[in-house]
Amino acid sequence: MILKEFQEIRDRLHALREKTGVQASIDTMLDLLKGVESRWNLAHPAVTEVPTMSPATTLTAISKPVLTTLHPGLTTDPNDPRLTHGADDGPVEQNKVYLVLSKEERDKGFVRPLHRAYRHTFCGTTTTMGLDLCETYARNPKFYSHTYCCACRRHLPVAEFTWTDDNTEVGS
């Protein structure tokens, strides 16, 4: 029930943003989410991680309410038919696989700091990534144009996210 109400509010905010062409203000979103939080007495953030066959690639949601998602695989093949591209029109599950740079390419060194988690500026949810994804961002910050928000359940432009450790924009 809590998750359903949270998702309904999130979906209404996305619809409003798309309809008006104006980014919904963070304050408005926070006010709506605080209403859900107080109504359901969600006093503390929760962290949950569901292990998969490859724990290093598991994405974890840190939010109110608790959300869990699995990330089953990675590929270095840009022609992998399981890959998707761009923003999602509505809520979706995470992709079956995500594209990463090869180990050899990542081993050449990083041009940006290695970040482990990002926050969606519109809903406030923090998502952590497996090491291969983190290293891909650190080696080539412009490699991805979109990333997944575990709460919104959508792939959205990286400009909507900031790194949790230094608050810089993802992809910059």
pLDDT in tens, 5-18: 666 776 776 666 66
Give the tens place of pLDDT for each residue, 123-145. 998 888 888 999 999 999 999 99
Question: 172 lies in a domain?
Answer: no
Q: Are 142 and 165 in contact (CB under 8 A)?
A: no
Query: Is 171 within the bounds of a domain?
Result: no
Model confidence pTM above 0.85: no
Structural domain total, the chain: 1
Full domain range(s) for residue 134: 2-163
The answer as to whether 122 is a domain residue is yes
Strand partners, 121: none
pLDDT of residue 76 exceeding 50, the answer is: yes
Q: And the tokens for 6?
A: 């949270």
CA distance 131 to 39: 37
In a domain, 80, yes or no: yes
Q: How confident is the model at residue 67 (pLDDT cuts 50, 70, 90)?
A: very low
How much is the pLDDT for 146? 93
